[in-house]
A and B are shown apart, each in its own frame.
Chain A
């Protein structure tokens, strides 16, 4: 591999330091690994999105007329599995977290660069297994793998799907481990815990969940595979097992997994809101503690997915109560973001539009979560489109909004290029409108009683009009998601070169060139300021829009 390109007169960056496929596949640079992840998760995002569009098209008419019942069941199963395990969970930590955490704390790389590369390979192996599962006929367990349906009654690729998620889970564990150690051991002099950007705090809290929760999912999937292969009798009552045990184990991970998805998003939004309000974050300590609070209490609420599953009355009461506890730190965060804007000096660049979208949609997703935690109401709306709408408001309205906001915010740093601001704003608007049009009608559908995972609702044609609206929204949403991919790719070649600090933002990542050099900092930075020291930074935005 040729190494130096200094002769061209260009500054050496992590992008042009080495060329060739090998320099990427064997890289231990956290920034390059972040880009490898970016390609993987973008690919799976569009696969999962394609399944979603087919689902919406099928539901345009009450009759099951576009695809077969089995095909439909595979579509929603694989939509869920691909989106949850291969997009939502890795997206922000593995791409933005990977790229930014070492830079934000003033380090040259993560604590374990090789393990970082290993975790990308594990993700890809899991991804290939998932692709094999899809190509070879798919799987139709629902992303939740409920037993005994998944262990005894289906003849699809349950084992390879489970294995794919098992392997990808180790990627998640290793990323979490890397972030925890990095945050503890690699901070620059002066970068105390009280000066960490909230983005880092958010990833720290997320990593703890990844480390403690993911192994439980791995064990559960192994048990599912064992019951399928050897009729072990763990979950199947016909063999002496207990199907509710599966649900407890599954949700013990899969509820905290929601916080794996949303906490990093909260970190992003904190960075963006501060920057475009030119303000210190309102209540730094409360914001950091709220992140940890959500991570800890989030482990104690899993059985709220099981209020009608046959758990005891008193267990249901406890889990309902604890679910309300976890809502308090979320409320603090929303109010504190809003308060951060108070008396700010606010501009509406693309990342800020996504942050506005996040606050609005996360608020609605969170509030509808309160409906679901209310036992009496949950009985009616659980397993209906109300739940589908609720978790899409959190995961898509919240997490994907934040992810796109973060991508726009740091794209100049990552690529060294500016994206076209006008297109950026248009896409943000399309995503917001398309999202609400797609998912708001589903709240109503759910209260009307439309169950999830229905391929055919011809006996209940009263559901059609809202489904038509939802499908129309999905089309707008799809365009909103395609646009950024197109103009990000375009900007890599034609975009204006990005200055080091296009937003005049606070944070160590904006003190180094765009794109950064391989080892981030030429000399060890020493931090003498608090996070979000916007009082010390000029308001001028170099890139006038």
Chain B
């Protein structure tokens, strides 16, 4: 039905349906409020306009009324809050087995890298009906990944990962906008998200011998010498990384952190920030020595070490996930 309302944006994800439902609820409630207040103002203005022989009646106020029109709106607000929070919780919690795509933003383009190694610029191809998690970072300033048809938006920051996810429901081509002002060609930092039927997607994916991201990462892991310390036994000078992803890690200062993408990333560019219990801060920093793409490959590789041995991919790939 919404599709027949002029200017109503396309809905192409599960989140879009949730957001639209709350938005419509908000529209109805605030429409009623506007109608109520406008009617009262206009009615009073006409009904109590100045006329000869009539005096204004002085009324000091009424706490009962004031409490009424504080408490009722407050209860309605709490519904808005709760409903909005529920949607947000879902939006911010990617499903466990979501397929992953790495995105690097820079002035003024979007670079996407699939687990199978396909790279795209200002384009993102995804299959319909799959949970897709985008793991994003920026090479320079803050950008924001915004797909109106999915009703999702997430700022993309330099120096760390931020994550968004979606479940596309309708094949088509949708706008991808940068929503955070990022300099001269901010309005040119746009692209398209193409949602495809699984078979079309597989055909697109099969387009050429790319090296899976985790394999690139594995090569880097040995080229950069990581492997000399981070050995797959307990003898290395650095912690064994097998199975570390997603698990709690005890730190030297007594804290415990979850080894998520940001932790792995930070441990590469700023190894001294969080020292694992029982190890010495001997690792050199790789800040400025490797690109964001290389970092992504390393992170994907480290994550793949925790996976059951399916072969090549760190994180679920879109292709492996398609039926």
Contact = CB atoms under 8 A, between A and B. Distances in A.
Nearest to A237: B159
Contact of A324 (B41, B78, B178): B78
B148 A380 contact: yes
B69 A331 contact: yes
B80 to A, nearest CB: 5
Contact of A279 (B8, B41, B49, B59): B59
B186 interface: yes
Contacts of A539: 50, 55-56
A338 B185 contact: no
B175 A449 contact: yes
B172 interface: no
Interface string B100-127: 0000000100000000000000000000
A374 B26 contact: yes
Given A310-B157, A324-B80, A534 B56 contact: yes
A510 B316 CA distance: 75
Contacts of B144: 308, 383
A112 interface: no
Interface string A281-323: 1111110000000000000000000011110010011001100
Nearest to A363: B37
A373 interface: yes
A160 interface: no
A368 B92 CA distance: 23
B88 A316 contact: yes
29 contacts: A69-B184, A73-B186, A146-B181, A238-B158, A281-B61, A308-B144, A308-B153, A310-B157, A328-B77, A341-B45, A342-B48, A360-B37, A360-B38, A370-B26, A374-B80, A375-B85, A379-B88, A379-B91, A379-B153, A379-B154, A380-B153, A383-B179, A448-B9, A449-B146, A449-B175, A454-B186, A456-B187, A459-B175, A460-B190
Interface string B35-65: 0011011001100111100111111111101
Interface stretch (B17-25, B203-211, B301-309): B17-25
B284 to A, nearest CB: 16
Interface residues of B, number: 83
Most chain-A Cβ atoms within 10 A of its Cβ — which of B9, B81, B154, B157?
Answer: B81
Interface string B255-280: 00000000000000000000000000
B11 to A, nearest CB: 11
A383 to B, nearest CB: 4
A149 interface: yes
Contacts of A321: 81
Contacts of A338: 37, 40-41, 44
A449 B148 contact: yes
B57 to A, nearest CB: 4
B9 A534 contact: no
Contacts of A379: 19, 88, 91, 151-154
B182 A344 contact: no
Contacts of A342: 44, 48, 59
B320 interface: no
A377 interface: yes
Contacts of B51: 345
B89 interface: yes
B41 A534 contact: no
B19 A309 contact: no
Given A73-B186, A379-B91, A454-B187, A324 B181 contact: no
A153 interface: yes
B183 interface: yes
A331 B152 CA distance: 30
A339 interface: yes
A34 B93 CA distance: 54
B23 A447 contact: yes
Contacts of B88: 307, 313, 316-317, 320, 375-376, 379
A244 to B, nearest CB: 8
Given A279-B58, A343-B48, A454-B187, A310 B7 contact: no
A283 B66 CA distance: 8
Interface in A136-155: 140, 142, 146, 148-149, 153-154
Contacts of A348: 45, 49
